């Protein structure tokens, strides 16, 4: 807890929020920057904005600080007061609501060589910001994390020219895909490793349909932990064999060398999911980490319709879906409830510290 | 292991069991206090009681100690002998069998305001004994842990007046319930936090039916870990849509700041489940912790009939059900086998140390 | 990582592989010893063998070492070069491919006493090699780890005469079996513990059919962690109630005092699964550890047909199956893709270090 606490405080300081001291001005500034987003986020934010604009006696942070701060100071983790804790919590949420962009999947572009879709993937070491001020040593495919999403249709022939610009060897495994054995990406079993400066070409027919992934299979605990991973979505040839949906999101979870990340970002830098009331949203969960993550959506259930890309004969409803390393689950959400709904890992140590939410936290905004 | 070992020994010393020395008298005393419970617990206990009353040569603890104690002394964890280890194991079980009360759910009382059921929930810091002598700093709803169980019927209007007497802010999330967004309990997203000394009123229609929960959603890793949690059971309006059962138990699992607890207690202070031969028992699992807990029932299978309150189209049989943080599973047990059946988390480090069982252990007694 | 690194390097040194120095000769020697196995293992190995016999410029380890070794030396975990890392990875795989024997289940023999099958099980402490050079203090049943597999048919009467030659008490629980309560193996609840030098006789009718297990239920976190465990397979009386298959394997997972083991062995000492093209292979997963293990098969999906021995009404396809402690899953694999397919735990920290694969890694060879 202490470590989380400290890095969280460092993060907040970078946002201009001073904890345990004269932080009100900073917090107010951060709040102010969120005004444009507040409109969209339900009635509480409007009430809160009104309250923030009202005389000091109705501002909860200030009044609580005056009433309770001294007595509480010693009782709190990290030695800061109720008002400080609340301000830290508020700063993260306010930053998120003001800045969160709609999640989108960057697609991996391709060229055609006859009927074959040709993709180019370059692995390289770089710095990656998981949230403002938190910059880590990462490995990426084509400079982004997760790597660009592959989108093809079942039965299409694909070719991947993988170039290694890392300071160590690598190889790519197409997790969930049926490839010829020599395209499977396991060094010394199915191919030599791709040395630094070298390239390797993978080619196969994309099947089966479903939510799959591609990632390193060499020194993989470290290389996948650092970011060598991406979604590989194979759309069904016959779309009637998969439930209908209005829009979709891919959520790649990771938890190791870059800390707890959702599509490469940690709250409050995570994006947001958006839907119109009545829309049916598909969420594709992909766990690329080393821990189970039980993802919990507030407000509405999820219907789990596929595991590892295979449609379930017997779909089931839930509000919390445990996702193990290597697992993929496809979840359909009927967006029947308007508002901004928290959406997070329910292993609470992956989602909240005494200084507020972090890590595997996002939201579904139903408008 | 060393830490578990030590606290276990401390616990046993508080029960009057001296480990590694002249502990026989203490152990005998503890055994004696269990006699009233032994009658109910199958033929072994009767045989054992008879054996304990027989000459010393047939008393296993003493004879094993004489034959093997010296040689084994150095080989054992914590440096104690076979006889000491066995005595420690026995003391825990004997204490449990003598003292375990049938598990019951404390219900949260309500008043009617027209058609609305009005519940009052007060969060406060207090000390909580997880087992004899193990007292922890806890947070509770209405002075108990788990908080009192909410029991309503699908479609009923409910109001919760939550008062915060904690030294920090809080908020309540109704995990699994469909509430209007502003009743969802996420500070700075759907409401301001409830400051120390303040109250907040939640109101919504209770749905869907099933096994749900209520818990803190502010500084939640700590607040839920310390005990701000409770079961929220919504009974179906149409009872024919749920399998029939004769009796039911709610099992809330937790694993953090209060150590491994089952309904707020650690073995041997955990209660016991009881059924008559042929009865059909429903167990509602709720995981409020940070770890997965695969619960294993000896002797009879469980039929898993619902996930997160939603009846499964395809129920399945098992004897071990993994439960992730935030998950709820409803399990039906046909009590066809008489006896006292161990019932525990199969992550053995949550259930047994070299000094005997602790933590997530209970029993189902079929009479 | 540092600890894994070191023991891995120690292991490799025992195999004759010198890391970070003049290791080429050693690596070549190890590679050479794998030639007999390479024939079976797909086209890459033949290409690789050819490449290893070609002039030095085409030998990847040497050329990469020359081009990149110096610059990379400081960047790598453990301070060794790309060439060293690759050599370590290759040595493990080459050793495995050259030495891996087909996995087989050692069966527990029995004598008949009338209609009763009488089995003898002796628990004793001994040293156990999990992979070349890694010798641990273990506990075994009948001198092997896992203990010999029990194979009986539903409805048969079985008797187990368990003798304890350990330096501590023990007891055996028949996990998944319906036994009379006094045969359930829980010390002080259903029986006295079996003291060192003593024996205890269990007798019951074997049911229900399915993949079950037997293991210690006394000081079990340590005793099961050290190896007191075995598979207990009850074949169905009516074989039409279970899917047909051509051959089967039992995979017992463990993760504690003996490190990450699969049938008692850590990669590269783990065995290999073999099938002819078109065969249908049944894999029986049994988790005897303290952690979840999401097992991932490359190349082909698994159809999960039973949980804890109970056939699923609604089987499902997947390529990654999370298995919690105490869980059993039966998986059918249609071996439609020829080649050597990696088969491992997808918690990558249980399967790969910077010096190559270890722990929960095996392969399915489809010929």
Give the pLDDT confidence score for residue A308 in this predicted structure: 98
Contacting residues of B for A77, CB less than 8 Å apart:
222
Mention every residue, 6+ apart, whose C-beta is less than 8 A from residue B250. B103, B105, B149, B211, B231, B233, B263, B283, B284, B286
pTM: 0.85
Inter-chain touch A167–C316, beta carbons under 8 Å: no
Mutate: best of A168, A185, A218, A254, partner C, most C CBs <10 A: A168
Nearest beta carbon to residue C316 from set A217, A290, A310:
A310
Task: Give pLDDT tens digits for A286-345.
Answer: 999 999 999 999 999 999 999 999 999 999 999 999 999 999 999 999 999 999 999 999
| Closest partner CB to C320 (pick from A196, A291, A326) | A326
| Burial class for A104, CB neighbours closer than 10 Å (0-12, 13-18, 19+) | exposed
Vertex B48 angle, CA B43 and B53, to 5°: 130
Nearest Cα of chain A lies from the Cα of C53 at a distance, in angstroms, of 15
- Compute how many other C-beta atoms are within 10 angstroms of the C-beta atom of residue B75: 15
User: B-contacting residues of C 280-299, CB under 8 Å?
Assistant: 290-292
Comparing CB atoms, the residue among C294, C316, C351 nearest residue A327 is: C294
The sign of the torsion formed by the CA atoms of B86, B87, B91, B97 equals positive
The shortest CB-CB distance from A326 to any of C94, C316, C346 is to: C346
B208 contact C CB<8A = no
Paired tokens of B137: 């700093």
Question: Which of C184, C220, C292 is closest, CB to CB, to B292?
Answer: C292
pLDDT digits 0-9 by tens, A74-123: 344 455 799 999 999 999 999 999 999 999 999 999 999 999 999 999 99
Give the nearest chain B residue to A362 (CA atoms): B189
Mean pLDDT of the A20-32 span: 32
What's residue C13's pLDDT?
52
The terminus-to-terminus CA distance of chain C in angstroms comes to: 36
Chain A residue numbers with beta carbons less than 8 Å from the beta carbon of C67 are 195-197
The distance of B69 to chain C (nearest Cα, Å) reads: 9
Contacts of B340 in chain C (CB under 8 A): 181, 189-190
Q: pLDDT confidence of C241, banded at 50, 70, 90?
A: confident
Q: What is the mean pLDDT of chain B?
A: 84
Residues in A 135-174 with any Cβ partner in B closer than 8 A? none
Question: What pLDDT shows up at residue A24?
Answer: 30
pLDDT at residue B46, rounded to an integer: 53
Tell me the chain C residues in contact with residue A232 when contact means C-beta distances shorter than 8 Å: none
> Tell me, what's the pLDDT at A46?
53
Which one of B292, B296, B337 has the shortest CB-CB distance to C181? B337
Percent over 90 (pLDDT), chain A: 76
Any chains having at least 3 CB pairs less than 8 A from chain B are A, C
State residue B172's pLDDT score: 98
Q: Could you give the CA distance from residue C3 to residue C17 in angstroms, rounded to a whole number? A: 18
Helices (H) and strands (E) in chain A, counts: 7, 22
Residue of C nearest to B71 (CA): C167
**By CA distance, what is B91's nearest residue in C?**
C188
**Of A188, B288, A144, A39, nearest to C86 (Cα)?**
A188
Q: Which of C158, B173, C168, B116 lies closest to A320 in space, CA to CA?
A: B173
Residue B257's pLDDT is: 86
Does residue A254 contact residue A229 with C-beta atoms inside 8 Å?
Answer: yes
More confident residue, A283 or A76: A283
C-alpha C248/C-alpha C270 separation (Å) is 16
- Closest partner residue to C220 (CB to CB) among B97, B301, B348 is B348
Is the model's pLDDT at C120 over the cut of 70? yes
Task: Using pLDDT thresholds of 50, 70 and 90, give the confidence band for residue C256.
Answer: confident
C293 — pLDDT class (breaks 50, 70, 90)? very high
pLDDT greater at residue B9 or residue C338: C338
pLDDT tens column, B143-198:
999 999 999 999 999 999 999 999 999 999 999 999 999 999 999 999 999 999 99
Test A68 with B181 for CB contact under 8 angstroms: no
Q: Are A128 and A118 in contact (CB under 8 A)?
A: no
Closest by CA position to B208, among listed B180, B185, B233 = B233
Torsion sign across C-alpha atoms A25, A29, A35, A38: negative
Instruction: Please tell me which residue, B15 or C183, carries the higher pLDDT value.
Output: C183
- Select the highest-mean-pLDDT range: A42-46, C36-40, C64-68, C124-128: C124-128
Residue in chain C closest to A313 (alpha carbons) equals C314
CA distance A5 to chain B (A): 12
Q: How many helices and strands in chain B, by DSSP H and E?
A: 7, 22
* ipTM entry: 0.84
Give yes or no for B190 touching A (CB within 8 A): yes
* Cα–Cα dist C114/C157, whole Å: 10
A119-175: pLDDT as tens digits: 999 999 999 999 999 999 999 999 999 999 999 999 999 999 999 999 999 999 999
Say if A307 is an interface residue toward chain C (CB within 8 Å): yes
C15 pLDDT band (50/70/90 cuts)? low
Q: Where are the beta strands (DSSP E) in A154-227?
A: 157-165, 172-175, 199-205, 210-216
Question: C146 CA to chain B: closest CA distance, Å?
Answer: 18
Is A326 in CB contact (< 8 Å) with chain C?
yes
Three-state DSSP at A243 gives coil
**Parallel, antiparallel, or unpaired for β C247-254 and C280-287?**
parallel
The answer for B179, left when phi > 0, alpha when psi is -120 to 50, beta otherwise, is beta
A187 contact C CB<8A = yes
Q: Which of C195, C196, C313 sits opposite B316 (nearest CB)?
A: C313
**Residue C122 β-bridge partners:** C163
User: According to the model, what pLDDT value does residue C59 have?
Assistant: 27
For A262-271, what is each residue's pLDDT tens digit? 999 999 999 9
Q: What is the pLDDT of residue A57?
A: 30
Q: Tens digit of pLDDT for each residue in B86-102?
A: 999 999 999 999 999 99
Chain A residues close to C260, C-beta within 8 Å: none
Chain C: give the shortest CA distance to residue B147, in Å.
29
Q: Once rounded to an integer, what is the mean pLDDT over residues A175-187?
A: 98
- Looking at chain A, the whole-number percentage of residues with pLDDT higher than 70 is 78
User: What is the SS3 assignment for B306?
Assistant: strand
Kindly report the average pLDDT of chain C as a whole number.
84
pLDDT attached to residue C168: 97
Neighbours of C, requiring at least 3 CB pairs below 8 Å, are A, B
CB-based contact B307 A317, cutoff 8 Å: yes
Residues of A in contact with B193 (CB under 8 A): 60, 86, 89
C-chain residues near B70 (CB < 8 A): none
Residues of C in contact with A208 (CB under 8 A): 301
Q: What is the pLDDT of residues B280-309, one digit of tens each?
A: 999 999 999 999 999 999 999 999 999 999
Give the pLDDT confidence of B188-244 residue by residue, as tens digits. 999 999 999 999 999 999 999 999 999 999 999 999 999 999 999 999 999 998 999
Predicted pLDDT of residue A257: 86
pLDDT at B241: 87
* Mutation target among B219, B290, B330 for the A interface, most CBs of A within 10 A: B219
* CA distance, residue A20 to nearest chain C CA (Å): 37
Helix (H, G, I), strand (E, B) or coil at C34: coil
Q: Which chains touch A (3 or more CB pairs under 8 A)?
A: B, C
From C67's Cα to the closest Cα of chain A, the distance in A is: 9
Q: What is the H or E stretch that residue B354 is in? A: none
pLDDT of B76 over the 70 cut: no
Going across the sheet that includes A302-307, the strands are: A261-262, A247-254, A280-287, A328-334, A302-307, A310-318
CA of C218, closest CA in chain B: separation in Å? 8
- Select the residue of A63, A319, A338 nearest B308 (Cβ to Cβ): A319
């Amino acid at each position: 807890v202490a470590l989380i606490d400290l890095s969280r405080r460092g993060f907040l300081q970078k946002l201009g929020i001073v904890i345990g001291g004269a932080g009100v001005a900073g917090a107010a500034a951060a709040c102010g920057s969120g005004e444009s987003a507040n409109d969209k986020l339900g009635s509480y934010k409007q009430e809160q904005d009104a309250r923030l604009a009202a005389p000091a006696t109705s501002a909860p942070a200030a009044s609580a600080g005056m009433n309770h701060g001294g007595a509480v100071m010693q009782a709190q983790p990290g030695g800061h007061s109720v008002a400080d804790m609340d301000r830290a919590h508020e700063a993260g949420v306010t930053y998120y609501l003001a800045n969160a962009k709609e999640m989108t999947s960057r697609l991996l572009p391709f060229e055609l060589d006859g009927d074959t879709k040709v993709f180019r993937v370059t692995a390289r070491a770089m710095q990656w910001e998981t949230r403002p001020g938190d910059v880590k040593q990462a490995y990426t495919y084509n400079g982004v994390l997760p790597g660009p999403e592959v989108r093809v249709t079942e039965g299409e022939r694909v070719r991947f020219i993988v170039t290694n610009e890392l300071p160590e060897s690598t190889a790519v495994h197409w997790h969930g895909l049926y490839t010829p054995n020599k395209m499977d990406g396991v060094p010394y079993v199915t191919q030599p490793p791709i040395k630094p400066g070298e390239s390797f070409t993978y080619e196969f027919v994309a099947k089966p349909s479903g939510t799959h992934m591609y990632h390193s299979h060499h020194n993989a605990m470290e290389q996948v932990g650092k970011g060598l991973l991406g979604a590989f979505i194979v759309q069904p040839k016959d779309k009637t064999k998969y439930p209908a949906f209005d829009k979709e999101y891919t959520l790649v979870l990771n938890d190791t060398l870059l800390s707890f990340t959702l599509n490469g970002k940690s709250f409050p830098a995570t994006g947001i999911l958006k839907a119109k009331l009545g829309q049916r949203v598909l969420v594709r969960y992909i766990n690329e980490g080393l821990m189970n993550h039980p993802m919990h959506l507030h407000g509405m259930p999820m219907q789990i319709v596929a595991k590892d890309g295979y449609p379930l004969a017997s779909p089931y409803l839930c509000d919390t879906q445990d996702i193990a390393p290597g697992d993929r689950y496809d979840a359909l959400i009927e967006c029947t409830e308007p508002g901004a709904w928290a959406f997070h890992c329910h292993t609470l140590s992956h989602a909240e510290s005494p200084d507020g939410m972090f890590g595997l936290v996002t939201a579904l905004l139903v408008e």
